[in-house]
């Protein structure tokens, strides 16, 4: 999903679960206490460490632009330094907590070393998700129902 700013600027979405977005949120969370602000170079170094892969200056510029257009960071006037907005802080904290406290443990829940209660909870969750998908696939879309009732 992307957001439309003004009438001409489209902001590409931050795709949930994308490793680069996860690293970006982690890097932003690491800068919460940075008194010096965020620069292309400092954020790129943090992301490279989190992704274990190099990030080019161009990629970082693209991500900084997306963050700015989404209202998650704002630029300090007459500098190439940015600070997190209140929404940016919420995004960084929420995304990193969600990843470390929920997604990672759930992804490891089916492994033998996971506690039996966690493995059972994952099986139950999978059952309900599969059941929901099956029911949704078997129902007729609303458009077809209204067209059928008119004929």
pLDDT at 7: 52
pLDDT at 136: 84
Question: Three-class SS of residue 137?
Answer: helix
pLDDT at 8: 63
CA distance 33 to 78: 22
Q: Which domain holds residue 25?
A: 3-104
140 and 76 share one domain: no
20 and 60 share one domain: yes
Of 25, 46, 22, whose CA–CA distance to 107 is shortest? 22
Q: What residue has token string 């009438």?
A: 7
Residues in the chain where the model's pLDDT stays below 70: 1-9, 33, 109-110, 140-151
150 to each of 79, 99, 143, how far by Cα in Å? Answer: 63, 48, 11
CA distance 3 to 146: 32
79 and 145 share one domain: no
Number of structural domains in the chain: 2
Of 10, 29, 9, 33, whose CA–CA distance to 21 is shortest? 29
pLDDT at 1: 41
The model's pTM is 0.64
45 and 62 share one domain: yes
30 and 70 share one domain: yes
We report the CATH number of the domain holding residue 92 as 1.10.10.10
18 and 69 share one domain: yes
67 and 40 share one domain: yes
Listed as own residue / partner, the contacts of 31-34 with beta carbons closer than 8 Å and 24 or more positions apart are 31/84, 32/84, 32/89, 32/92, 32/93
82 and 146 share one domain: no
């Amino acid at each position: 999903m992307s957001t439309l700013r003004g009438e001409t600027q489209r902001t590409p979405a931050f795709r949930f679960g994308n490793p680069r977005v996860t690293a970006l949120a982690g890097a932003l969370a690491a800068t919460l206490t940075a008194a010096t602000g965020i620069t292309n170079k400092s954020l790129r170094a943090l992301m490279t460490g989190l992704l274990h892969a190099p990030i080019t200056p161009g990629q970082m510029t693209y991500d900084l632009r997306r963050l700015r257009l989404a209202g998650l960071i704002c630029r300090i006037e007459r500098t190439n330094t940015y600070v997190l907005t209140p929404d940016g802080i919420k995004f960084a904290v929420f995304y990193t907590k969600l990843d470390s406290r929920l997604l990672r443990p759930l992804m490891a829940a089916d492994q033998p070393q996971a506690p039996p209660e966690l493995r059972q909870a994952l099986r139950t969750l999978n059952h309900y998700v599969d059941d929901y998908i099956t029911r949704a696939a078997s129902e007729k879309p609303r458009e077809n129902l209204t067209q059928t009732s008119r004929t």
